[in-house]
Structure 1
């Protein structure tokens, strides 16, 4: 393969090796000379400290000690001469006839000619500097150190400096040859051993192709505890899970077929719904028919009786009309055909408007309404549907208010939520009836509901609207009444008006 991992690994290895080799060559050229010179300087200072310590101990005149000093200096490739106050050489590493010895003596005489740029290190006791000389039959560069010891004796040490440039060049040539051999051998071994990685990957590739063809019997068999081995085991587990999932999908498909075959049950549900509707319409239709026949037969000829008959007929017709409208609204909500239009509006203003519109009903029920809320609280919801929820809660509270005949509407802010609660004093709802309140046509007190014209659909509409909002709603019993509530997403009020609260009683 043109872009195989083996080729990429080999190319990466050779490129990395070449990069490291290039870096070593650059460092060798730039810093080898400084390192070499620093190392030789440390050798001279170390030798000086050893001799100075021997002088302090008073052992320099000992022949054995002198021999040890000479041996250490020669091992470090250092020429040494120590001259006492009388001018006698008490320690030296070179014979008198050695040209280097004569050169050192001449160097002592010419110490005052040392160039400042040649000095590498200088203290009160010694000076280290570089010096070139050609007295040895060819130009030679030395690293020299001269000064005095603690007893006042003088010394001169020197160590020849090999050609640093030449040494660096030779070292670089050696590194290049070694690097070329290393790249060739390393590239070969990388190419060879990369098979241990590429062959398992090729098997995984084959396995993925089999899985793509929905053949889940293929398995990764090479094993191993490295990353590829773990990947292979995960492939095997994924293959098993896919096979299991496809089997489950087939089972679900079969179940779906069964559901399609049971569509007759939906027809039964429709028939049940129509039965409930016909049951609810039976009473108002019978009343309308009876009073209409009474009018036709002239049961009572006085104007008051005829007006009463007409009022009953109109009232029952209005109840049927409202029930049909509610059923249509509920049907649209439950089947999702009525779209929700989210917008930002003031829930306090909306609730205040609903309360004002129900003023006549409140007066007829001889009730009082306490409205507790901030001046403004903005929420995100469908304003028209929210009004339906508030109106259903409020009319429900009006129809069931008892005892002190008090209704309290409260809006509170809780974090990012606004909770709207409608409380009415009266009898608490039996606990066994609470889960059924939101069902269609369910009535806790059928006689009382019939009395004010209820049909058991209002709370079902509330349930459908709040579920379309994806918000919470519910009911809570108290000792002296019942509170229905729902929540909406609240936002910060963007008004410059002063905030306050109102507690308005409507009678």
Structure 2
């Protein structure tokens, strides 16, 4: 048993790997997003807003006084909050800036008024000559002067993200989601593999002759597989049963004539039969039973060839009405003897691409059965009609009819409706209709029966009408 490499384990590992990769990429995306998120710099933005609001108000009062000492004092306060500031005029010219704030770190602003409007609700970003990022915003002191407040954007360490009050709940949620996903993946794998295990078990049971139906469950594809397995199991069981019945029937059909042949041959050999009349009778029985065996063997060979697809057929253009008429004429003496008439109703000429010998044998077999089961003085209806691209042939008798149950089995090998005819004169072995069915299907057609007990039976043969010139 190789549970380590079972489909259940493989599915579970596959689901787990997919979930792990998804969570890994999602986590990486969240970390990257947090590194770029304004939430991480909210303390810087708060300090910038505080300095901007404070200095804008203060500077507006000393706008016409001596700026320099007052401005330097204010700038010292800004530096204590780790914020750099500068004063620009309305044209963007730099007038004052804090000591640690170099000119290269100050963005070039040509229109302070527009920039102030843009930075009113969010900080702008400037990349200086040393490729460092700075947050900055501009506020208006009065119509002539503007205050620029800036702070260097710090590099955020990844470990600091895990100290954020938003990241921790996300991590806990992700952990619970991972555990839940593992459990769910196992349940999904079990949901898929459980019916597969039952199908596997069913296959093993078939090998030992147990034909149990597999429950239809699981995903749609697995359900389809279970249906196919049940169908195959039923067909295998039916096929094996047919083989057993076939062997039993063949044995019986061979045994009966062989017993007669053996018995009469032994009688002649022992001298039990000594007068000419008895010897003639014994010879007739031996000859008839030998002929019967010959027919049986030929029928079995025909069925074997049809099953294997090796039956040699010489197909050519055949006119259906003439072929049926020829089949009817073969039974002239049998019809006279049985006092039965055939009423043929044919349509216009219908040409088929068919083997005239095999198709004629089908029609002969249907007519022969109709004669056997019709009462004297009755009439057999034979019709041929065109139905689109198909030809319909029907043979109807007024015999005892066939029950619905027997109709379903009428084309099985060795099946005989009238069991009382077994062993009697003119009996068959139940292969005629089975061979006829195979012959019709070999021509791309189908054969069926419609019957009602006490009213007779109608056998219907549908054959495709094909253009022989294209063959």
Q: What's the TM-score, normalizing by structure 1?
A: 0.44
TM, length-normalised to structure 2: 0.47
Q: Which is bigger in relative contact order (C-alpha 8 A, separation at least 6)?
A: 1
- Structure number with greater Rg is 1
